[in-house]
Structure 1
Amino acid sequence: MRKLLIPVVIVLIGVLFSSLYVVEEGTRGIVLRFNKIIGLSDPGLHFKIPGVDNVKVIDAKIQTTDSSNNSGREQKFITREKKDLIVDYYVQWKIVDFDRYYETVAGGNSVENLLLARLNGRLRAEIGKLDIKDIINDTNADTKSRNSLMVRVKDALNGTQQSTANIKDVPVEDLVAVAETDPESITSMLAFGVEVIDVRIKQINFPPEVSESIYARMSAEREVVARDQRFQGIREAEETRADATLAATKILSEAEKQARTIQGEGDANAAKLYADAFNKDREFFSFIRSLKAYEKSFKETDVMVISPDSEFFRYMKLNVNSAESNKK
């Protein structure tokens, strides 16, 4: 009896453990019976029928999909003014209908690819209505702005509750076919069990060929500004030099004027002194002046042709006559 009890206990323990399963926090468990959905398990410990029921665990947290998931290809969009733009964006979404989501992925479809296809289509339609300056504008109040564009895209991806309720009656494969053939269709992502939480544009660039022309134009504009600044600097430098030259000329003129005034006053004082001395002893003054004239006139290499009877030699003759008188 004991020999039979032990295998039975082991089997029961095995059945018990195989019938238990745990759903971790942040996930949900879809219970399948013969590949048909019979229930949804919240986080915690649950039971199932071993060998009959199967549980698929699905991530229930908010997920983020980046535009780089588009097979690594750049997404080009055309604005209303026919300008090409490369838009880098991301979208946040979560599963709200796990049954519908499982039906979608169970058929071999990728919800992320469907979401990106729909998002690209809506972005292309919305960007085509705006100019570049409107897309760059990030205000919330203006309907022609990047923020309002993202809100419209998110609302378009989610659709209305009425349209979603009606579209849930349509088989998933038919909805997938419509979404793949017409990315700009009004098919709501809620029809695939997914709700879009947020859409954000991270970066807006121009294609390389457009960027080069823009950079060339910007460089030319900066060159014009730089040239104007250089010309402005040259003009201010010339004006500064002219002002400095004018100020220097005024200073030199004033200094020369003062020097001439002082020199004139000195000459006048000297003339007055000479005149006073001359008035006191005119003969002595004439004699001194003659001596200075002799001193300046007679040099070693100078030759003078003057008549001996000239008045210039008057005092010299007197000196000669006085010397002869002294000899006698």
Structure 2
Amino acid sequence: MDQNNPNPFASLEQKFNEQFKNKNKIPKTREPLNLKKHMKAIITLTIVFAALIILLANVYVVKENEYRVVRQFGEVVDLRDDPGIYMKVPFVQSVSSLPRYQMTYNVSEAEINTKDKKRIIIDNYAVWRITQPKAMITNAGTLLNAEARMEEFIYSVVRSELGQLNYDEIINDENTSRGSLNDRVTARVNELLKDDNYGVEVVDVRMKRTDLPPENEQSVYTRMISERQSIAQKYLSEGDAEKRTIEASTDRKVQEMVAIAQKEASIIAASGESEAAKIYNQSFSKDPEFYALYRTLESYKKTIGDDTMIILPSDSPYAKILSGYLE
């Protein structure tokens, strides 16, 4: 026990009293927030946030493959084609885009008459692009209107060009009459578009398909078959004629070669016979009697056979030799 502190429970009492005071202590009330002190900061943040939104809403980006058209109250005031980030006037100006790349347009099918009064259905497509956006907007207004005008020009030019060709010349790819048709159509359509200042250019016009009207198909197919058969028969006739010519030429050359060979063989044979006769004469001249006997014996080969009957006098030299008497 501590002599200086005779109450050993003094610390516990003190601790208990402090806890009791804390439990019965009345909490202090907080003062209300004074908005007037923070109004300036709130207004500043609101203005900055609104300015940021307006700034972002009026920034536009120009890509490499597009034109950006800036309008003010509907009028075109600026055109941008350089890639980058630009700013427009808020609430006054608007921005729209136009394609800068090449586009493909399928021209509607159309029926035309050829030079030989045949009706055919053509199907074309065009590759085109915008070269002058302001002129296109001023004179055509929209891409749809520009394509519509381009289609009218293409149909008019194609009808005019194909109207100068026969049907066979159009469908026959080997015929040179159609060779530069696509180039002529492209050049002529560009001239018409340039005259009206539509600000667009046709890169190429191509014919995808040529068909016959259903009511004409069978008659044309029948005529085409007849023409092909006629051409085939012509080729066969020309082939037979060429065959006969070659055979006649070959037979003539063979006969000439055989005649030359026979002539040379006759010359060689005659030369051999002459040389043989010369040798015979030289040989037989040495003994004429032997030669006469040899000639007689040779004659027996030709005159006497299995069924040969010869009647000769017994004293005939020919019979004597045949009988074996040589003297």
> Structure 1 residue aligned with 2:206, among 182, 202, 223?
202
Aligned twin of 1:17: 56
Aligned-partner Cα distance in 2 for 1:120–1:274: 109
- Give the partner amino acid of 1:55: V
Aligned twin of 2:178: 136
Aligned twin of 2:33: none
Q: Does 1:236 align with 2:241?
A: no
| Shift in Å, 1:226 | 4.8
SS in structure 1 at match of 2:206: strand
> Structure 1 residue aligned with 2:314, among 294, 309, 315?
309
1:222/1:48 Cα in 2 relative to 1: closer, same or farther (>3 Å)? Answer: farther
Report if aligned partners of 2:59, 2:88 keep a CA contact under 8 Å in 1: yes
> Structure 2 residue aligned with 1:70, among 100, 107, 114?
107
Aligned-partner Cα distance in 2 for 1:205–1:211: 17
Aligned twin of 1:115: 150
1:155/1:259 Cα in 2 relative to 1: closer, same or farther (>3 Å)? Answer: same
Aligned-partner Cα distance in 2 for 1:118–1:216: 38
| Shift in Å, 1:243 | 1.7
Greater shift in the superposed pair: 307-316 or 39-48? 307-316
Report if aligned partners of 1:150, 1:199 keep a CA contact under 8 Å in 2: yes
| Shift in Å, 1:266 | 1.6
SS in structure 1 at match of 2:90: coil
The Cα offsets for residues 92-115 of structure 1, whole Å up to 9 and x where unpaired, read as: 34233364368446xxx5432342
TM-score, normalization: structure 1? 0.60
> Structure 2 residue aligned with 1:48, among 77, 89, 99?
89
Aligned-partner Cα distance in 1 for 2:283–2:274: 14
1:269/1:127 Cα in 2 relative to 1: closer, same or farther (>3 Å)? Answer: closer
Report if aligned partners of 2:134, 2:199 keep a CA contact under 8 Å in 1: yes
TM-score, normalization: structure 2? 0.60
Aligned twin of 2:263: 253
SS in structure 1 at match of 2:87: strand
Aligned twin of 1:90: 126
Aligned-partner Cα distance in 2 for 1:70–1:148: 17
| Shift in Å, 1:277 | 0.7
SS in structure 2 at match of 1:56: strand
- Give the partner amino acid of 2:88: F
Aligned alpha-carbon RMSD (Å): 4.4
Aligned-partner Cα distance in 1 for 2:311–2:202: 120
Percent same amino acid among aligned pairs?
A: 17
1:152/1:15 Cα in 2 relative to 1: closer, same or farther (>3 Å)? Answer: closer
Higher relative contact order (CA 8 A, sep 6+): 1
1:14/1:274 Cα in 2 relative to 1: closer, same or farther (>3 Å)? Answer: same
SS in structure 2 at match of 1:55: strand
Aligned-partner Cα distance in 1 for 2:312–2:325: 16
Larger radius of gyration: 2
Aligned-partner Cα distance in 2 for 1:97–1:292: 122
Aligned-partner Cα distance in 2 for 1:125–1:87: 15
Aligned twin of 1:175: none
Unaligned runs of 5+ in 2: 1-37, 170-175
Report if aligned partners of 2:157, 2:185 keep a CA contact under 8 Å in 1: no
1:116/1:8 Cα in 2 relative to 1: closer, same or farther (>3 Å)? Answer: same
1:17/1:288 Cα in 2 relative to 1: closer, same or farther (>3 Å)? Answer: closer
Aligned-partner Cα distance in 2 for 1:303–1:102: 124
